[in-house]
Structure 1
Amino acid sequence: MLHKPPLKRPQAHTFAVRVSPTDRLKALVRIGPMTLQAALGRGGVTAFKREGDGGTPRAAMAVLAGFRRGGMLTPDHAGLKLRRVGRRDGWCDAPDHAAYNRHVRLPFAASHETLVRDDILYDFGFVLDWNIRSRRRGAGSAIFLHVAKPGFPPTQGCIALKRRDMLRLMPLLRRGTMIRVE
């Protein structure tokens, strides 16, 4: 009987996100030899993230899951299975609700974000572990890595890349990939 070597798990990468030296609402994202431009939150990078402040947390955040708009024909080739979201998918951003910073089904009475939008932002998105595994009320919710609007206007606290760059990086994204905002 031949001995087979154990299967090698793909390595989880670390993305370094650094504030652009010319604009505090933009970032340079490095993974290996690649450097890409990204949008940050309207509140810049903050070490004291609060719900609604528009800040991008200064933290090392693991990728927990991914999603994509249902019905799109674009192959994603992501390193993890992406959940297809539809009109009934949302994310609770109401600090006093039991589902705070969690996926919810719409209609939903408390404050929430809709995951299917009329723009391209959530064509592809990755849930980052900000205030999820160790959840604190009011410490911020719905911090995603997602597609940027043209021209990189600020986000509500997320990190956003050009759609083309997101598609290039998606094969490297897997559960546990670290996004380190410095």
Structure 2
Amino acid sequence: MVKIFTAYAEGFLVLNSDKVRCALGKGGVIPAADKREGDLRSPLGMWPLKYVFYRPDRLPVPETVLPVKALSPDDGWCDDAGSESYNQHVKLPFDGSHEKLWREDGVYDIVCVLGHNDDPPVKGLGSAIFLHLAREDYSGTEGCVALSQAHLLELLKSADAETYVEIVRD
């Protein structure tokens, strides 16, 4: 059965029957067709949960039926619109522009890859749209959806192959 967790532009997500705080893009939300690399906006729409990365030196394996991969210091994500690896997991060192997934700030200690612009990726229409951990102050993301660790773990526990995060305006 399809499960949908709705994230509202006002900064909350409906998790099971509760409204919980979340962070979205620093630039707000934007229709997915208008999303552009680096615009700091979260794309409106329904995005499937694909798989999960986690930091094994900081956390145990998250409880979920989704595919789970342990991160290592050489994991990255290509955000270079000129690269054939655009919007894909890459190993570092990598010549093109990329994000490091092994971060000191902890926001990527758990990362769920959302199925935005991935089948196939269209260069420049946004990359690295994740569900990840929020900063303590819930400051805006680069275009992702961010939750507390407890809420993200709860969401992953109930997620399966038919689970989506829906980003809406109101």
Q: If the TM-score is normalised by the length of the shorter chain, which range does it land in?
A: over 0.9
Aligned to 1:34: 18
In structure 2, C-alpha distance between the alignment counterparts of 1:128 and 1:69, rounded to whole Å: 18
C-alpha contact (below 8 Å) 2:59/2:109 kept by paired residues = no
- CA–CA distance in 2 between the matches of 1:181 and 1:151? 20
Q: Distance in 1 between matches of 2:26 and 2:59?
A: 31
Is the Cα contact below 8 Å between 1:15 and 1:180 reproduced in 2?
A: yes
Cα distance change on mapping 1:134 and 1:75 into 2, 3 Å: closer
1:79, 1:174 within 8 Å by CA — same for their partners in 2? yes
Deviating 4+ runs (over 6 angstroms): none
Q: TM-score, normalised by structure 2?
A: 0.93
**Tell me, which stretches of 5 or more residues in structure 2 are unaligned?**
none
Alpha-carbon distance in 2 for matches of 1:103, 1:35: 31
Is the CA contact 2:50–2:67 (under 8 Å) kept in the aligned structure 1?
no
Unaligned runs of 5+ in 1: 1-10, 21-26
Alignment RMSD: 1.3
- In the alignment, what sits opposite 1:18? 8
Bigger RCO of structures 1 and 2 (CA < 8 A, at least 6 apart)? 2
After TM superposition, list the pairs within 5 Å mapping 1:1-182 onto structure 2: 11-20=1-10, 27-47=11-31, 48-182=34-168
State how far apart, in whole Å, the 2-side matches of 1:137 and 1:65 are: 22
Q: Percent identity between the aligned chains?
A: 34
Partner SS for 1:58 = strand
Deviation track 1:66-98 (CA, whole Å, cap 9, x = no partner) reads: 111132343421232310011111000000100
- Equivalent residues, number: 166
Distance 1:148 1:69 in 2: 15
